[in-house]
Structure 1
Amino acid sequence: MLDNDFIPRVPNALPPGYRFDEFEIQEAIDASVTSILYRAWDHQLERLVAIREYMPKAYVMRNDVMELVLHSERDHLVYTAGLNSFMQEARQLAHFNHPNLPQVLRIWSDNNTAYIVTLFYSGMTLDELQKQQPSLIDEAWLRRMLPMLCGALATLHAAEHLHRNLSLKSIQIQDNGLPILLNTGAPRRGQGSLDEGNTLLHPGFAPLEQYTGDLASQLGPWTDIYAVGAVLYTLITGNAPPASVARSIQDSCVKLAESQPEGYSLNLLQAVDKALSLKPEDRPQSIDAFAALLNIQPGDVRELVSSKKTGTALVPVEDPDNTAVLPRWKRYQPALQIGAGAAAGLIVGAVLFGRGSPSVSSPKTCPCVADC
């Protein structure tokens, strides 16, 4: 039943009780500048799921029948480009098979927008964990988490995708202790995305090349590696490193190998310092190179990188011209060496804390742009 008196905690969110066939919205639990995340109930399989709705609030609002309409006809092209990118990246994520990446169950279009359904992962982000249980985080804990986090990133990189949005809020530690790399609907190809310049940057976590105009020639695995270094720096020191733009003017970021925080090995601190190098060429150029700096025990995750998931319902929307354009950074091959791999990840996860497709309607055209 739809709650007609519902006042959304998240502006423009769908109300509790709204149905997409077997999926019933329970609550809007998070929002970004480009999407809204809902907790929902799958009546067919009787389980919780997460639904992410493409909702770039700068360009659209919701009308009385729950459809998205543009603020201005001028926004038609940029909205459509973003929508196509959202769906294409969901399809790419659906092909990944890694225990530390969200499992996409279904994607479809409705209400003049698009939706992605994934498993529902309960737990807390690293940001929440650091605030609520800071004593839990030490080098041993980090070294148990890092192989799984690196494996997830390497899976993206092997498919020529970058995350580009890493921060403490985009890594969730589940109740079972396993990390999940969130916001993976945001990864961009190294080149060719129509909305590359619209990625929301997190000061302190985004490297300098993400602030420049010539993105295609400078982004690569080292871009995400900088963000991983910033995540580790924040967990170790309690403070995020200075924004890379500010560092490029006057670098006030104190190297961890010099400050030597108590309880952390020089090897780990030096690896973080290397990852936080301002110049892309000074950082590790791949996840396996970064893992080598960390002295992570080698493992083989090639079967995770190349495996294709089954059972994901890919309901298409109209695509733009998807002529393949390879990024300028060399394709990152899946022969990386990461510590524990998937099987070990499932084993050590608990230690981190110490414990059929229904029919859908066809995509619609926003009424305000019907004549565009």
Structure 2
Amino acid sequence: MERTEFSGGVCPNCGYYDNAPSDPSFIIPGTKLNNRYIVGVTLSVNGEGITYLAYDQSIGCKVYLREYMPPNLCNRVSGSPVISVIPARLAQYKALMAEFTELHKSLARLRGQVHVNTVVDLFAENNTTYVVDEYIQSVRFVDYLKDNAGELTWGQLSHMLPPLLTTLSLLHNSGVVHRAISPDTIYVTDKGELLLTAFSIAAVRTANTELECEIYNGYAAPEQYSANGQQGTWTDVYAVCAVIYRVLTGSMPPSAISRMENDNLVAPAVLNPNIPRHVSNVIMQGLNLNGTERTKTVTELVTRLFDEHAEEEDAIYGGFDNGGYGQQPYANQQPYADEPYSEYPEQPYDDQNYPNYDTGYSDDYAYDDYQEEDNYRQPQKAGAVDRLRVPIIVGIVLLLILLIVVFVVAGDLFKGDSSESSKTTTAISETTAVSETQEVTTTAAVGDSVMPQLLGKNFENAKTQYASWITFDAEEVFSDQYAAGQICWQEYEVGDTFDSSKKVKVQVSKGSATVEIPSYSGSGHNSYGEKLDELNIPYTESAESSSGYSNGSVIRIVVTKNGQETDLGAGDSINLNDKYQVIVYYAYNPEPETTAPPETEPVEETTAAPAETVPEQPPATEPAQTAAPAQ
């Protein structure tokens, strides 16, 4: 993983000093992620992950970088930004990471419509997911209040609230509930606008879950103190009313959990008589401990908050009804049980890299569940036996028909010869083999890491990037979709688990399978062979004599398919998957030999002559002398 060295040892963007001690659970400042973002100092940590100040090299500006890293479910690999998931917590890690991704994708879709930190990028790396938010100059609302005598008037606040409440309504319509609205998570921009920040998944904002909870006492609704509490838009209504209470009175309301034992909440108008009566009444209604009696939606809250006449007939909250919670201490809650998580496929921000997950994440509950049941009942017109009589008769008839069909089919099967039985046995064996293979595959799929997106990445770069936790088993194939050198297939889908100790199979593109046969005119066979190699066209060479071409020059080519000659030639397109081959014929014209090797013939004649003359003459004379006396 590439790391940036700071000039003089100090980062000019975040002030990090190279020799400063750093927590090993955090990414080392200077580390570059996604080949774009330089990680800086750590800003905040909670049970869901870590937020860093970072620098975007592409556009040259600061950004906020949020890393999904729940400490209860995973650990940081020493000296590396890679995250290692605890095997026993892998299902929870994946499910919550999918929820984390979907949450920020929902925020990204609302870009430009809401007053929140704008999501500018999402990407997967190091076995986790990162979110990049726009960096905006702003101050925390709690610090803003300190600079303004600790509180604001209703006239001042009423001009600042509407954009924030509109934002919250849009978020709720998109299925997003914040659960942590407070003066610490609301920021004031240099334009005086309220900005909502610090979005996290539901588990980190609820007590007794698998993650370390982050609850803002005084602003958290009572249902957040129990994993069994039903949360929804009314949960954020409680927090908004608590913030308004704090801004107008200068005092934070008591925590919901303490109010459940002893509700001593004082109406805002009692603490500050300048607060309009209807505003005080609306705030108290929004802080009702009983979620079913609390204002349920932001739209309803806005309507009542900014309509003075809507509350004129309401009584001042002298003795506020806490919904019955004050008489029942909050204790002995049922322990939280982990629910089974569904499998999720894994996801950068664009739709290709981050497919939509069906996480089951839903913050909106049907209000019908909280309405009173209708006591009206229909009169009973028939007894249970009468109602079941017809279905029973129909069921008996269907059962008889089914038995008849089974006997007929069974009879036909028994008439089959032994070969059919053999086929059946073979089919059963094949099915068993397939089942065993599937079991092995399923077992192999269980691992300690989550597969990132590899498709489209340069293979050599990917080997370097994931060298610390992925070993590749690569195969080169042709691909019309991916350029040469890019990964065009990966063994595991994005988000699947795998064992990082085993090799991961990938296919690397050799380029398009459809190529054009290059021209050989004026080429030597060596240079023409290089052209064919570049195009991955298989070929063989054959020399032949041709007085019209210089030695080594290509004379002609023959294109074969599956060993059979075709009419194709230079300039024609072929698909390399169809087993084409080019035979390259080049000229080979040996020159006549001017210097012959030492002649053996004269030597043979010189040697043979004496052998023929000396031995043969005497025998020819002797027969003649012998023959004369015989006559």
Shorter-chain-normalised TM-score: which range? 0.7 to 0.9
Q: Which of the residues 249, 261, 265 maps onto 2:276?
A: 265
Q: Which of the residues 66, 70, 84 maps onto 1:69?
A: 84
Counterparts of 1:266-345 in structure 2, within 5 Å, are: 266-295=277-306, 313=350, 316=353, 322=359, 327-330=364-367
Cross-structure match for 1:251? 263
Cross-structure match for 1:101? 116
Q: Rg: which structure is higher?
A: 2
Gaps of 5+ in 1: 189-194, 298-311, 332-357
Cross-structure match for 1:79? 93
Query: Relative to structure 1, is the Cα distance of residues 9 and 204 closer, same or farther in structure 2, using a 3 angstrom cutoff?
Result: farther
Which one has more relative contact order, counting CA pairs under 8 Å at least 6 apart? Answer: 1
Query: Relative to structure 1, is the Cα distance of residues 313 and 47 closer, same or farther in structure 2, using a 3 angstrom cutoff?
Result: farther
Cross-structure match for 2:43? 29
Paired amino acid for 1:210: Q
**Distance in 2 (alpha carbons) for counterparts of 1:161 and 1:8:** 38
**Distance in 2 (alpha carbons) for counterparts of 1:84 and 1:103:** 20
Query: Relative to structure 1, is the Cα distance of residues 136 and 256 closer, same or farther in structure 2, using a 3 angstrom cutoff?
Result: closer
Aligned residues: 321
Q: Retained in 2: the 8 A contact 1:112–1:366?
A: no
Report the CA distance between 1:260 and its aligned residue.
4.0
Counterparts of 1:29-178 in structure 2, within 5 Å, are: 29-63=43-77, 64-70=79-85, 72-97=86-111, 98-134=113-149, 137-178=152-193
Q: Retained in 2: the 8 A contact 1:27–1:38?
A: yes
Cross-structure match for 1:12? 25
Cross-structure match for 1:337? none
Q: Percent identity?
A: 23
Q: Confirm or deny that 1:231 pairs with 2:246.
A: no
**Distance in 2 (alpha carbons) for counterparts of 1:59 and 1:165:** 22
Q: TM-score, normalised by structure 2?
A: 0.46
Report the CA distance between 1:38 and its aligned residue.
1.6
- How big is each residue's C-alpha offset from its partner over 1:189-221, in whole Å with a ceiling of 9 and x where there is no partner? xxxxxx798653222111112223434xx3221
Q: Retained in 2: the 8 A contact 1:107–1:115?
A: yes
Task: Report which stretch shifted further, 128-137 or 82-91.
Answer: 128-137
Alignment root-mean-square deviation, CA = 3.3
**Distance in 1 (alpha carbons) for counterparts of 2:293 and 2:501:** 47
**Distance in 2 (alpha carbons) for counterparts of 1:91 and 1:246:** 36
Query: Relative to structure 1, is the Cα distance of residues 279 and 232 closer, same or farther in structure 2, using a 3 angstrom cutoff?
Result: same
- How big is each residue's C-alpha offset from its partner over 1:22-48, in whole Å with a ceiling of 9 and x where there is no partner? 222232222222221122222212222
Q: Retained in 2: the 8 A contact 1:69–1:367?
A: no
**Distance in 2 (alpha carbons) for counterparts of 1:269 and 1:80:** 44
Specify the SS of the correspondent of 1:280: coil
- How big is each residue's C-alpha offset from its partner over 1:237-279, in whole Å with a ceiling of 9 and x where there is no partner? 333211212212210111223x141432223222211111111
Cross-structure match for 1:221? 233
Paired amino acid for 1:281: T
Cross-structure match for 1:339? none
Specify the SS of the correspondent of 1:16: coil
Q: Retained in 2: the 8 A contact 1:2–1:16?
A: no
Q: Confirm or deny that 1:204 pairs with 2:241.
A: no
Q: Retained in 2: the 8 A contact 1:25–1:41?
A: yes
Q: Retained in 2: the 8 A contact 1:29–1:39?
A: yes
Paired amino acid for 1:94: A
**Distance in 2 (alpha carbons) for counterparts of 1:120 and 1:178:** 15
Q: Retained in 1: the 8 A contact 2:175–2:362?
A: no
Query: Relative to structure 1, is the Cα distance of residues 267 and 6 closer, same or farther in structure 2, using a 3 angstrom cutoff?
Result: farther
**Distance in 1 (alpha carbons) for counterparts of 2:287 and 2:360:** 34
- How big is each residue's C-alpha offset from its partner over 1:143-197, in whole Å with a ceiling of 9 and x where there is no partner? 1221011011101111122111222211111122221111234468xxxxxx798
Q: Retained in 1: the 8 A contact 2:47–2:213?
A: no
Report the CA distance between 1:229 and its aligned residue.
0.9
Q: TM-score, normalised by structure 1?
A: 0.75
